[in-house]
Amino acid sequence: YWSVDSNVDRKKDYPQIVEAADFLKNEELVAFPTETVYGLGASALSDAAVSKIFAAKGRPADNPLIVHISSVEQLELLTENIPETAVLLMNKFWPGPLTLILNKKTNAVSSLVTAGLNTVAVRMPDHPVALSLIEAAEVPVAAPSANKSGKPSPTSASHVLDDLAGLIGGVVDGGPTGVGVESTVIDCTAEVPVILRPGGVSKEEIKEVIGNVEQDPALIGSKAAPKSPGMKYRHYAPVAPLFLTDGNQEWIQGLIDQKRSSGLKVGILAPRESASFYKADAVAVCGSRRDLGSVAQSLYQALRSFDEKNLDLIYAEVYPVKGVGAAIMNRLEKAAAHRRITQEK
Ligand code: TXA
Ligand code: MG
């Protein structure tokens, strides 16, 4: 466990960073903060190291990992035939919460990283600790979110330890993450780039840069098979079953009262504006409806908080599917396994 002040500028010779980087060089796992969520890092060049990621997380082997880089020079090692649209996106959004799917250079990284695909997912995170660590490790770093498979992604070092203590080399604690949901994943090998996972960079922002972008139709409100392997698994879910509730507060309180009167313990996930209105066994607050970024930031922390409350079910308010709202609703839909109760008008 290494604690690093995330205010420090990129310092690859910071003693804690050097020590953590040595673990990566020695094919061990190190969890570290990024601007989105904590990642569980391993040298992307080592089969031995990467296989430890799948073991620690309980991650299916057919779900490929994102390779994290600290400079665009590292791209040459990993990819070839980078399309013009990808260059535009990198210039605009890197470092930042955007992952590009590109053509993989043969034998560039461990084939475990790409789950046998001929493409590779790459991103440059916008976090001084992440960038320093990758620089000090002197290798591209494969890193999924540092949670047990199926659980909400970790937005603090303590979430990482809750899930993975004893299973990893260590965690670099750089404080809570900023964006709160994972990076947007965009397939740049298609003629028109396709968003495979909505995330920290919105579709609207991407459109402004490259004009035309498509979205995997499986992403929102659909059970069709998604193109990104990871999106087919149940994910982001608290222990108790979660239901999206699309209606006003009085109606939602009615649902809660009904369940509680039959002896069930009920949780509700709501933004600051309505949280104080609810009477339930657990009320988790996630940001403010007026700022969807603040909802994204505290979403996973709020979902995790339900697990210690021993609930029978959880209700969650819904949000507009625009800007980062697309990522919020994608994660909530998955956490709810698409269960939704809608108020009759
Ligand atoms: O914000 C993030 O992206 C965080 C931080 C740690 O960087 N990482 C993260 O990784 O969320 P993970 O493994 O939880 O999600 C990676 C997603 C999965 O849905 C995976 O299937 C997809 O990216 N992916 C990776 N390589 C791919 C490829 N070659 N083609 C299609 N999808 C790919
Ligand atoms: Mg994940």
Q: What is the pLDDT of residues 18-27, one digit of tens each?
A: 999 999 999 9
CB under 8 A, 24+ apart: contacts of 229-234: 229/62, 229/63, 229/64, 229/115, 230/63, 230/64, 230/197, 231/196, 231/197, 233/60, 233/63, 233/149, 233/150, 234/150, 234/334, 234/337
Task: Give the closest residue (by CA) to ligand 1 atom 17.
Answer: 230
CB atoms within 10 A of CB 310: 12
DSSP state of 72: G
CA gap 302, 268 in Å, rounded: 10
Residues with CB under 6 A from ligand 1: 34, 36-37, 39, 63-66, 97, 99, 101, 114, 117, 119-121, 125, 143-145, 182-183, 185, 196-197, 228-231
pLDDT of residue 218: 79
- Give CA–CA dist 123/134, Å, rounded: 12
Is the pLDDT at 221 greater than 70, yes or no? no
Nearest 5°: phi and psi at 117? -75, 160
For residue 219, the model assigns a pLDDT of 75
Q: What is the pLDDT of residue 4?
A: 81
Q: Please tell me the predicted confidence (pLDDT) of residue 234.
A: 64
Q: Please state the rounded mean pLDDT for residues 30-34.
A: 98
**Pocket mutation for ligand 1, best pick of 69, 99, 134 (most atoms within 8 Å of C-beta):** 99
Interacting residues of 218 by C-beta distance below 8 A, sequence separation 6+:
224, 225, 226, 227, 231
Inter-residue long-range contacts of 71-77, CB under 8 Å, 24+ positions, other chains counted: 71/124, 71/135, 72/124, 74/140, 75/102, 75/122, 77/105, 77/108, 77/140
Q: What is the mean pLDDT of residues 148-172?
A: 96
**Cα 79 from chain centroid?**
23
159 is in an annotated binding site: no
Mapping DSSP to helix (H, G, I), strand (E, B) and coil, where does residue 117 land? coil
pLDDT at 217 (0 to 100): 82
Segment 251-256 shows an average pLDDT of 98
| pLDDT given at position 232 | 64
User: Could you give the count of Cα atoms lying within 13 Å of 280 in the half-sphere of its Cβ?
Assistant: 33
pLDDT at position 309: 96
Residue with the nearest Cα to atom 13 of ligand 1? 144
Regarding beta strands 98-103 and 119-123, do their DSSP bridges make them parallel or antiparallel, or are they unpaired? antiparallel
E-state strands within 136-274: 141-142, 170-173, 184-187, 194-197, 214-215, 242-246, 266-270
Q: What's the pLDDT band for 143 if we cut at 50, 70, 90?
A: very high
Query: Does the pLDDT at position 313 exceed 80?
Result: yes
Rounded distance, CA 293 to CA 245, Å?
Answer: 21
Query: Is the model's pLDDT at 123 over the cut of 80?
Result: yes
d(CA 195, CA 329): 15
Cβ atoms of residues 293 and 174 within 8 Å: no
Residue 84: pLDDT band by 50, 70, 90 thresholds?
A: very high
Its ipTM equals 0.99
Residue bearing tokens 């400079």: 71
Q: Residues 227, 206: contact at Cβ < 8 Å?
A: no
Is a pLDDT exceeding 90 seen at residue 231? no
Please write the tens of the pLDDT for every residue from 51-63: 999 999 999 999 9
Q: Average pLDDT of the chain?
A: 94
Residue 77 in this model has a pLDDT that exceeds 80: yes
Share of the chain above pLDDT 70, in %: 94
